Structures are given as C-alpha cells and as structure tokens.
Amino acid sequence: MPVDINSPPLCLGIVGTGAMGRGIAQIAAQAGIRVLMFDALHGAASGARETVIGTLARLAEKGKIPAEALAAASARLEVVPRLEGLASAQVIVEAIVENLDVKKALFQQLEDIIGADCILATNTSSLSVTSIAAACKRPERVAGLHFFNPVPLMKIVEVVDGLLTAPRVSAALLALGQRMGHTAVQTRDTPGFIVNHAGRGFVTEALRILGEGIADFREVDRIMREAAGFRMGPFELMDLTGLDVSQPVMESIYHQYYEEPRYRPSAIAAQRLAGGVLGRKTGRGFYSYSGGVQEPAAVAAVPDARAASVWVSQTHPEWADVLREIAAAAGIEVETDYAPSSQALCIVTPLGADATTACVTQGLDPARSVAIDCLLGLGSGGPARRTLMTTPLTSAATRDAAHALFAADGSAVSVIRDSAGFVAQRILACIVNIGCDIAQQRIASPADIDRAVTLGLGYPKGPLAFGDALGAMNVLAILEAMQSFYGDPRYRPSPWLKRRALLGISLLTDDT
C-alpha cells in the first residue's frame, strides 16, 4: 500500500543526527510526525534529540511557537539504540557521511529491517541517487530528499527521482516536504540536481572575470549587489561558504558533466584553497576579517573632471535618450550630430560586446570613448550603481570625465577594464543560460527551477524570470557576442533560450 503522508500517525526514521538530521527531525516533529532518530555514534542521537528540544524551547520562549506545541513536538522525538528500531518507520531519511559505499551499505541493511512499503530517501547533495538505489533489492522505492542547511530556515527541498524511482514514491516525498512546511520541487537525478546545478553561473563567471583582470573582486561584488540586486556578491558568498566547500562542488559538477565548458572552475579558487585562504572561517579569504567581521575597503572618490561635450551612440536609441538626459541634467553640452566632434566624450552602449569592438565598429576614437552598461536601467528607478568600461586606449582624462558625469546625480559608479559583456551582463547571462539548459534537459519544470533557485540560493529572481525581465533576446545577444569574441563554447546559448527568444515568449513557457 502506498504511504499516506498526510495520515496523523506517520512515522519517519532518520539515520544520522548531525546538523542535517537534527534539522529534519525538528521540522518533522513540528509537523505532527513521529520521529525515530538513530546514529551509529554512541550517544549522538540522544544528544541530537536534546539539541532539537532546546531549539524548540527557545522558539517557545520567543513566542514563535506555543508552549503546547513545544511539548507535543518533543514527545514525538524518539531515540532508537539500534537500526532495527526503525522497523516501524514508513519513510526513512539518511543524512550520513557523503560516501557512496557507506550509503549503499546502509540501505542494504535497512532493506532487511523495514516493511515492504517503506520509502528510503537519501539527503545526499552530491551523489547519484540512482547509484545508491542500485545496491537495493527494490530500487524503485529509493529517491533523494535533499534539504539545505539550516533545514528549518531554508524552506526548499528537492525530491530527486532516481532512474528507477516509482512515481508513487516521488509523490509521497513531495507531499512529505509540503507537510513539513517546505516548498518541494521535483528533479531528475543529475549532477547538482537543481539548486547546485543552477548556481554554477554566479560564482564561476565571476572568477573568470577576476582572472581576466577586468575588475577586482570588490568591484564585482559591488556591481552584483547594487546594480543586479543580489544580497551578496559572488566573492562574499565564497567567503561565507568557504572555498573548502565551494571549490570541491565546482570541481565535482564540472567533472560529473564530463568537462562541460559552462561549469569550468577557476585556477584562482583552486590556488586559494591549496593555500588555506578559505574565507570567514580562516579570517582571510578574498576579504580580510577581524572578529568575523569583514574589514571595510576604501571607495575611490569621484574625480574632479568635466567633459566639454558628450556624444552618445545611437546603437540603442532608447538608451541613448536616457543618457543624453543625464548629461543635460549635469549641465554638459549634448552633441546630436551623426558623428562626434573632436572634443566630445563618446559614450557607447554595447550589449555583450566589449568597448573596443563597439568603437571599431562605429568608427570612434577609442581614446575618447567609454562604454556604459544600460541593461539594468539608468534613469529614475534604475540601479544604485552604474558600470563604465574603458578601452585599452581610453585616456585617463576621458575615463575621469565619464566617471564624474555619471556620478553627478549621486549614483555610485564602477569603472572596469574592457570586457565582452561588462560584469553584470556576463554573470546574469550565464545564470539565465544554465537555468534554460536545466529546463531543456527536462531535469525539472520551469516553475520548479525558479522556485528552487530563489529559495535555495536567495537570488532576486529565478533564472528564467530573470531572463524574462532582462529580455530573452537581450540575453541571447549577450551570449552570442561573448561566444563570438572568446570562441568559447562556455557561452553557447541553450536551445531553450534561443527558441523562446525567437518566438518572443516567456522562458517559463513549457513545451506542450
């Protein structure tokens, strides 16, 4: 008989009572589920139970849960001294060490103990669910149930279908995740599942930008926070997570996908890991930390410079109009002739291309030219930070005049070296493209991809919604320009993106 997840007497077994196991036990007990806790380490399960009860007690003290809920949830937490004590469980979740052989051996032991209808779920974040299930007599009842740490706060769980997982098992685990107060999304068993797979664009492309000397890590973080709307920049994120965690994930997903260029890691992160420069946990990562607090960095002053006049490229007329308004508001003469005068500060607005290419294509003097990223907006209600990009020949006077102009209304300005795709364009295009390819591979539904990413990674939008907001044709243009410039298949557009851009439809549009 299929397991009735919404039945009040549901019994959940948990093997492994570390941080993940404790978190799963807490939300299960709060959801009215009887929880059996087992750990091979003597005393660990009992200690974990007390820790969970202590957490619930603090929630009750703060008024976040009623006192009676504390008592009821605590009563549902039971410790079993041996694996055989899990025999009555209808679902068992393992949250033990990330070792394929150890997990296989555990599931083989459990099959000799549990009932015929019991579901076996693994909380693995990096191993193949199909491989784990292959060791079992009944692989169809094995699936992934991947929570994120800290479990009570990260309201997302991935239900991972192995190659032979039965539909009833997936349906039961989706219902279980919902019952425990989480958003449950369904995904096929592929490296990284949804969240860790979708996260490849943010950090790896930022590392590539750093490796090319386009901008330092602080500037990249400022742009992604203040212009693109992320809660933290990619280098802040790596420092928070620790390179001892994030670099192995980058390497693992890259190799599991047989060196797919989109996921190519960076030698920069590998070197820093080897040197023990891991992030907050070591007091030094990309940033330095004192007492766990990031040490502030000086912000460059706005130059005291002024352009005699400004000429704006008409490549994107809608952007040109806004840029002329900004220049006029700053009291600078705006030239409207087809070609600039010999004294004009020339402003170009490339999409995916670099400043050099824009100047050469339009016949402009690269010494007097600066590019500005207009993709995320420039006027009222636009980003809090604007990004300027110089050519290798842009004079210091031209650079400073452009910086002063675009900071005149109080906006923050980042000045970077020449790059196909600026900073935000590059990183966002990679995020969108990888999300599109997850959809193209039918790893998960478009809606589940966006739900998983916004909850699991904290992005301001899911990758497909981000693509819609930026304009699918704009994202396609950025990728095609970058692929042309670099000759790197890393930037090849996903068929999902290309077809929907050409049709003018939402990237969230699923196939009929």
Where in the sequence numbering do the catalytic residues fall? Answer: 125, 146, 158, 196
Helix axes 446-457, 424-440, angle to 10 degrees: 130
DSSP state, residue 180? T
Q: How many angstroms separate the CA atoms of 36 and 49, rounded?
A: 10
**Identity at 341, one-letter amino acid code:** S
224 touches 427 (CB < 8 A) = yes
420 touches 353 (CB < 8 A) = yes
Q: How many angstroms separate the CA atoms of 107 and 148, rounded?
A: 22
SS3 217: helix
Nearest in space to 160 (alpha carbons), one of 176, 138, 144: 144
340 touches 346 (CB < 8 A) = yes
Give whole-number Cα distances, 289 to 17, 216, 233, 268, 272, in Å: 32, 18, 16, 20, 16
Alpha helices in 145-189 (DSSP H): 167-179
Give whole-number Cα distances, 509 to 120, 213, 396, 498, 506, in Å: 33, 38, 47, 13, 5
83 touches 113 (CB < 8 A) = yes
